[in-house]
Amino acid sequence: MDPSIHHAQGLVSSSSQGLAWDGLSQRLGAPPARLTLAKLPTPVERVPGLDVGGAEVWVKRDDVSSDVYGGGKVRKLEWVLANAPYDGDGPILSVGGVGSHHLLALALFLRQQGRSLHALTFTQTLTPHVRRNLAVLVSCGARLWNVKSRARLPWAWLAYHVWRRPERMGVSMPAGASTALGCLGFVEAGLELSAQIDAGLLPLPRVVFVTAGSAGTSAGLALGLALAGRSMRLHLVSSVERWGFNGVMFRRMLGMAHRVMVQHGLPASQAKGSAGQLLEHAGVTWCIDHSQVGGGYGVPTDAATQAMEDARAQGLRLETTYTAKCVAGMRRALAEHPVEGPVLFWNTHASNDLRAHVREGWQADCPFAP
């Protein structure tokens, strides 16, 4: 699939689940450009092995959203990389841990375009999964300006702009590609889920559990469900501390994404008022759960490790930074506040086997001893 080709204006379809539906571009009077990077819609599956009490767990399989690199990041990059200031031919500068899925996705898709990634990184707990991600990141030609902790990221910024300034500077992209346009990837994901419910592929979930960190995924999903008129509760399991993700940040991202849709021709009936009013009118509610942060971003917890092992037994590949903590948060929430009937876990992890991307001797190009 050529990532330079933009979506045609028409129905989005899935032969695997027999679904045809109007995507976000068909709802906007002047939709922004978009690349074709993902295979959408992603499947929904019932996974009884993850049930808690009377709650019947379904899984949204974004882990199979791309043959290059799946997960939730590709949904955002379809919109972000198609529009200014990220649609050029030069490098992009972004930030994250050394095992960041955002940086990894960005490096892989930029390589398809003959472009490169410049990354301000911080060292995190080197689990086997994080080490694998780092190996692929370096093997893809990404250049890292690394520091030992998130608190020291300003030093990486200074090194990039002053001490180790590259010949060609990268265009700066927020962590997680969580821009207003990036949110549109998950606005469409909410519409996609609604279409799958209408098609009878899953019952209406009482609660949707999704991981949260930079707000782009969760805010976009909330807006998409609101546009679809789905009265639903979102349970956002944070992977970072309260200072890193909170209600203020979430509402800000909601407002940014809503404004960009208004600018691109959102129908007047949904453009009036604020993003919060749109959610309230549709009956979309949300809560933020910080119970699974543990020792901090990227630090495994016992609950997440157990959730990852249990999910593996059900054929799902998770990791302990985001998705396994989300399942652990789901288990705790459902134990404390029982739900009868269907709930949905949105799996934003990528299940691709990336070992073929690892270049022998990659460690020599890593700025620290991995």
Q: How confident is the model at residue 4 (pLDDT cuts 50, 70, 90)?
A: very low
32, 184 in Cβ contact below 8 A? yes
Q: What are the angstrom distances between the C-alpha of 273 and each of 191, 218, 222, 277, 304?
A: 20, 20, 16, 6, 40
DSSP state at residue 66: -
Q: What is the location of CATH 3.40.50.1100 in the chain? A: 11-74+178-347, 89-172
Chain segment 132-150, per-residue pLDDT in tens: 999 999 999 999 999 999 9
Question: Higher pLDDT residue, 370 or 121?
Answer: 121
The two tokens of residue 165 are: 């300034």
pLDDT at 11: 36
Chain segment 146-167, per-residue pLDDT in tens: 999 999 999 999 999 999 999 9
Q: Which residue has the tokens 């300034």?
A: 165
155, 147 in Cβ contact below 8 A? yes
The two tokens of residue 18 are: 């027999």
**Nearest-angstrom CA–CA distance, 302 and 300:** 7
Topology of domain 11-74+178-347 in CATH is: Rossmann fold (3.40.50)
The arithmetic mean of pLDDT across residues 104-116, rounded, is: 96
pLDDT at 163: 93
Class of domain 89-172: alpha beta
pLDDT at 3: 38
